[in-house]
């Protein structure tokens, strides 16, 4: 499974509508509205590298009001279990 983090600049007047439309794109697992230099961050998860172009360039980038995308492809995932263990205080022992 490939994961990409997509930073999305949008028309500020349509952020909620754009977020909802991006969330409906097959391959998009999550969409967040965020503070900072971009308006939305989408997590894209696909099985094959070629599918990234289909999801990001052919679908997300063509949503009305999307002005620009910037994509980061993840090299390694650190599981939720690993993160929970790192912060475990040992309170259940």
Could you read off the pLDDT of 18-54 as tens digits, one per residue? 999 999 999 999 999 999 999 999 999 999 999 999 9
Of the pLDDT bands very low, low, confident and very high (cuts 50, 70, 90), residue 77 is confident
* Percentage with pLDDT > 70 across the chain: 84
pLDDT at 1: 87
What distance in Å separates the CA atoms of residue 36 and residue 8, rounded to the nearest whole number?
11
Q: Is the pLDDT of residue 91 over 90?
A: no
The whole-model pTM stands at: 0.83
Domain 2-86, classified CATH 3.40.50.1370, yes or no: no
Q: Which helix (H) or strand (E) holds 16?
A: helix 15-23
What distance in Å separates the CA atoms of residue 37 and residue 39, rounded to the nearest whole number?
7
Domain ranges of the chain: 2-86
Phi then psi for 19, rounded to 5 degrees?
A: -60, -45
What distance in Å separates the CA atoms of residue 9 and residue 39, rounded to the nearest whole number?
5
């Amino acid at each position: 499974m490939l994961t990409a983090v997509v930073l999305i600049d949008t028309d500020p007047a349509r952020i909620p509508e754009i977020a909802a439309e991006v969330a409906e794109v097959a391959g998009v697992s999550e969409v967040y509205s965020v503070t900072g230099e971009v308006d939305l961050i989408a997590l894209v998860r696909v099985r094959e590298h070629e599918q990234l172009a289909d999801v990001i360039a052919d679908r997300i980038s063509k949503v009305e009001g999307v002005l620009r995308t910037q994509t980061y492809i993840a090299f390694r995932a650190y599981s939720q279990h690993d993160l929970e263990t790192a912060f475990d205080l040992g309170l259940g022992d």
